[in-house]
Amino acid sequence: MENRAVSSALPFAKAIDSSRREQFEEYFRTAPLWILDAFQVEEVDKDVTFVRENDPADTIFFVVKGVIKATDYRIFGVSYDFMTFDRVHAFGGMEFIMDLTAYRTTLRTVTKCTMVKLPRSKFEKWMYSDIKALKHEANLVGQYLLEESRNNRLFLFMQGADRLALLFVERHERHSKNGVLRVTEGRQGLADETGLCVKSITRAVKKFGDEGLLTKEGNRIIINREQYEGLKRIVDQKIDRDE
């Protein structure tokens, strides 16, 4: 499939971030034209759960615009956000690769999102007929599982404020604009993503604020480039993130 065919099927694609558009076009570069007819475009509001663990994995989702996160609710009384996605992935693709019939995680939107949906049957037909596309999807699934397992090992051996420092460093590297990261979510959201309690988050935020490693503006946390470097030094003392 040529890039102009993708752009024609998704006229809003020209308005999205160039990096995300390139990822989307690369993913569908070898797709047959009949895949275009199966595209279903949907706008989804912020804080909407669109995939629930153990539901039938009958739809493949691509987030063209916006950010989503994966949440584990299996631990009684705790919701653990273990991965935030801001790149193009086939959500439901892992279940296809592993021949699973039900989704293995819960997904919800962090921001308002534009999504493209494909019936799994159409997605499977394409993958089985296109070895390059199948290899690309398997590579993405492998990268995701590797990153998740590495992050889980890091968090297992990191305590309190160090976990929050790692989260802020990784977010700054992925989401900062002009060297500045703005964290708008509340303490509970940070607790969910780090596996810490709200009290630990509050103590860590105060500690970093007192040390000049972040700035509070109302309910928002601001981290500039210099503050990021300070947080990164804390993280680098604990782990080698370049391995």
Whether 68 is in a domain gets the answer yes
Same domain, yes or no: 48 and 150: yes
- Counting residues of the chain whose pLDDT is more than 90, the rounded percentage is 42
Name residue, tokens 């090992």: 153
Q: Higher-confidence residue: 145 or 205?
A: 205
Same domain, yes or no: 191 and 117: no
- Residue 175: pLDDT band (50, 70, 90) is confident
The pLDDT assigned to 213 comes to 96
Which of 120, 155, 190 corresponds to the end of one domain?
155
3-state helix vs strand vs coil in the chain, percent to 5? 50, 20, 30
Whether the pLDDT of residue 228 is over 70: the answer is yes
**Domain tally for the chain?**
2
Whether 231 is in a domain gets the answer yes
CA–CA gap between residue 90 and residue 61 (Å, rounded): 6
Which of 155, 172, 190 corresponds to the end of one domain?
155
Residue 106: which of 56, 60, 78, 71 has the closest Cα?
Answer: 71
Strand blocks (E) in 140-211: 181-183
In this structure, of 56-60, 214-218, 233-237, the range with the lowest mean pLDDT score is: 233-237
Same domain, yes or no: 143 and 165: no
Give pLDDT tens digits for 71-126: 766 554 444 444 556 567 899 999 999 999 999 889 989 889 989 999 999 999 99
Are the C-beta atoms of 59 and 116 separated by less than 8 Å?
no
Task: Tell me the whole-structure pTM to 2 decimals.
Answer: 0.67
Same domain, yes or no: 67 and 104: yes
Are the C-beta atoms of 190 and 204 separated by less than 8 Å?
no
Give pLDDT tens digits for 143-154: 878 777 766 666
Which of 155, 174, 204 corresponds to the end of one domain?
155
Whether the pLDDT of residue 199 is over 80: the answer is yes
